[in-house]
C-alpha cells in the first residue's frame, strides 16, 4: 500500500505559511506540549519555509531554513552554515517519506544560497532519522523547550 501523493515546495504566500504554522502547532504545541510563545519566533518572518502538501491540498509537513545573519546565532557565527529547524510531519503522514523530502528540500534551498553545510538541533528520539540522511551529531545533549536535543550537521 502506498501513501498519498504529495509535493514539496517553498512556502511563498501567506496561505502556504499558515499551513506551515498549522502543522507546527499540531505537532509541537498540541502533541509535544511546547509553549506556543516558544514555537513561533521572529525568525519565522525571515526563514525559508518548505511545505509538503497532499494532492488534495492538505498540509502534511513543514520545515524551515535560516541562513546569513539570522542563522549566525544558532550556528556559532559561521555564515557558511544554514540552520534547519521546525521540521514537523503530520501524524497521518509519518512513515511516508515526507520528512526526508522536507529535509532534502531545505538542503536544496541551502545549496541555492551557497551554504556549505546545514546544522540542526535534533530531538534525541529523531537522531537515527537524521543520521540516515547523513547528519553527524556533535557536542553535548541539551534541553530545548524541555525536550532533549542534540546538535547535528551535514556538509552539502
pLDDT of residue 27: 96
pLDDT of residue 124: 94
pLDDT of residue 3: 62
Whole-number Å distance between alpha carbons of 88 and 117: 21
pLDDT of residue 145: 83
pLDDT of residue 1: 40
pLDDT of residue 38: 86
Are 117 and 82 within 8 A, CB to CB? yes
Low-confidence ranges of the chain (pLDDT < 70): 1-3
Q: Is 44 helix (H, G, I), strand (E, B) or coil?
A: helix
pLDDT of residue 67: 95
Amino acid at each position: 500500500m502506498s501513501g498519498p501523493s504529495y509535493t514539496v515546495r517553498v512556502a511563498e504566500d501567506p496561505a502556504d505559511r499558515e499551513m506551515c504554522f498549522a502543522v507546527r502547532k499540531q505537532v509541537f504545541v498540541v502533541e509535544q506540549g511546547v509553549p506556543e510563545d516558544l514555537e513561533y519566533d521572529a525568525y519565522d518572518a525571515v526563514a525559508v519555509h518548505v511545505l509538503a502538501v497532499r494532492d488534495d491540498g492538505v498540509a502534511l509537513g513543514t520545515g524551515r531554513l535560516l541562513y546569513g545573519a539570522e542563522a549566525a546565532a544558532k550556528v556559532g557565527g559561521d555564515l557558511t552554515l544554514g540552520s534547519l529547524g521546525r521540521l514537523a510531519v503530520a501524524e497521518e503522514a509519518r512513515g511516508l517519506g515526507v520528512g526526508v523530502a522536507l529535509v532534502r528540500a531545505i538542503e536544496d534551498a541551502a545549496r541555492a544560497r551557497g551554504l556549505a553545510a546545514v546544522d540542526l538541533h535534533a530531538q534525541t528520539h529523531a537522531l537515527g532519522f537524521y543520521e540516515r540522511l547523513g547528519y553527524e551529531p556533535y557536542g553535548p545533549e541539551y534541553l530545548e523547550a524541555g525536550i532533549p536535543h542534540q546538535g547535528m550537521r551535514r556538509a552539502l
